[in-house]
Structure 1
Amino acid sequence: MTKKRLSVLILSVWLVSVLAAFWWLELRHISKMEPSLLNQHGVEREVADLIKAAGSGATDSGLPVVVHFIDPGCDCSDDTYAHLEQLTTASLSKVSAKLPEHTNLLYTPDNAGLPETLKHMKRITLNQVPEVTPVVGVWKSDGSLVYLGAYSTGPSCGSGADLLREALLNAAGESLPLLDWPIQVSCHCRWRT
């Protein structure tokens, strides 16, 4: 083998290795979110029962209830944190006035690694949860599910259509058409065991 061919071979192997490493580190969690991964019927039923049993707070005032399913150990959660920070600081017109703190509920294995935006949310315990994270669910005050799926379209949270905001507006009474869910492609991980 000539020196030139050896150099080309080494360069090719290096380039393929770098691309494979990039793919594994950056794109391994981006995939199709199958409906079965959301465990929709189990989650929908259990959270609806929780909302109805509460009897006060969100249910009496007609406010939507948002449940965040987040595992701080998932690499996809970092973009979700930034997205939630934008939502809490940005004006969401009439929805921001209708969404006091007690309408946000959080399901997470632990608080370690969570930003302050999420640490103050009321943590809940559920037996039925989506198989992947991060996922958000929006319920009307009567316990009917409006949306369960990714926070937004695209490979990272906040990079496409803001599905959480659209679902909140819909749950608050604005008749906005929601995109078909679950989203075909998103960044998500399996829960840590």
Structure 2
Amino acid sequence: MSRQNLIPITIVITWLIGCAAIFWWFEYRYWGAYDKQLIQFDTQAILELYPILKQDTGNQPLVVHFKDDECPCERYRLAHLSGMKTDLQGVRQVTLSQLDQRLAQISIPASPAVAIWDHHGVLAYFGPYSSGMTCGQGFDFIKIVLDKLSQNENPQWVNNQGFGCFCQWKEV
């Protein structure tokens, strides 16, 4: 191979490696297993959130969405929720961001995440929205839990099985 051909090949290879690194940085650096985030998660903290949020839930389950507006994974959560409008009818929903004062003493491991309480105030689910790479792909955990609650069954499930796009919450 001549020196004349070596320079363009080196430039192309360097450009491809650079593009791959940039793509990873902007797209895949937030992808990982949710269980890494749950290692130091105290479930007692999430249980203490219900009395703060319960305000007249009546006989409805309470679904709490945890979001981080600075997280690029938020776009997947919003797309998933827009497709779930009918599934979420008949439940009270609250959306909390990392800076919400109601979360002052409560540390959530990562977002997007969701917590669901039954109409008695017993935690039915905490964890990622679904089992797929993005919210809405794979098994839809929210739909599964809401279906169980409609049958008067509470799975009491703290899920650490998700893999996808998550942003670890910073200590506030």
Q: TM-score range by the shorter chain?
A: 0.7 to 0.9
For residues 96 and 16 of structure 2, the distance between their equivalents in structure 1, rounded to whole angstroms, comes to: 41
Partner of 2:28: 27
Q: Do structure 1's residue 42 and structure 2's residue 36 form an aligned pair?
A: no
Q: Distance in 2 between the 1:29 and 1:167 partners?
A: 26
Partner of 2:3: 2
Residues 50-89 of structure 1 correspond to what in structure 2 (within 5 A)?
Answer: 50=52, 54=54, 57-58=56-57, 60-61=58-59, 63-88=60-85
- Between Structure 1 and Structure 2, the one with more helix by share is 1
1:1-193 matches, cutoff 5 A: 2-34=3-35, 35-36=38-39, 38-43=41-46, 45-50=47-52, 54=54, 57-58=56-57, 60-61=58-59, 63-88=60-85, 91-92=86-87, 96=89, 98-99=90-91, 103-109=92-98, 125-126=102-103, 127-173=105-151, 175=153, 181-191=159-169
Distance 2:139 2:43 in 1: 21
Work out the CA distance in 1 between the residues paired with 2:12 and 2:156: 48
Question: Aligned-pair distance for 1:179?
Answer: 8.4
- Closer, same or farther: CA 153–21 of 1 in aligned 2, 3 Å: same
Structure 1 gap ranges (5+): 111-122
**Structure 2 CA distance for aligned equivalents of residues 132 and 180 of structure 1:** 13
Q: Secondary structure at the match of 2:32?
A: strand
| 1:190 CA drift (Å) | 2.5
Q: Secondary structure of 1:73's partner?
A: coil
Two-structure CA RMSD over aligned residues (Å): 2.7
Matched residue SS, 1:125: helix
* Inter-CA distance 41–129: structure 2 relative to 1 (3 Å threshold): same
Cα distance change, pair 20–174 in 1 and its aligned pair in 2 (3 A): farther
CA distance in 1, matches of 2:43, 2:98: 19
Unaligned runs of 5+ in 2: none
- Give the count of matched residue pairs: 167
Paired letter, 2:118 = K
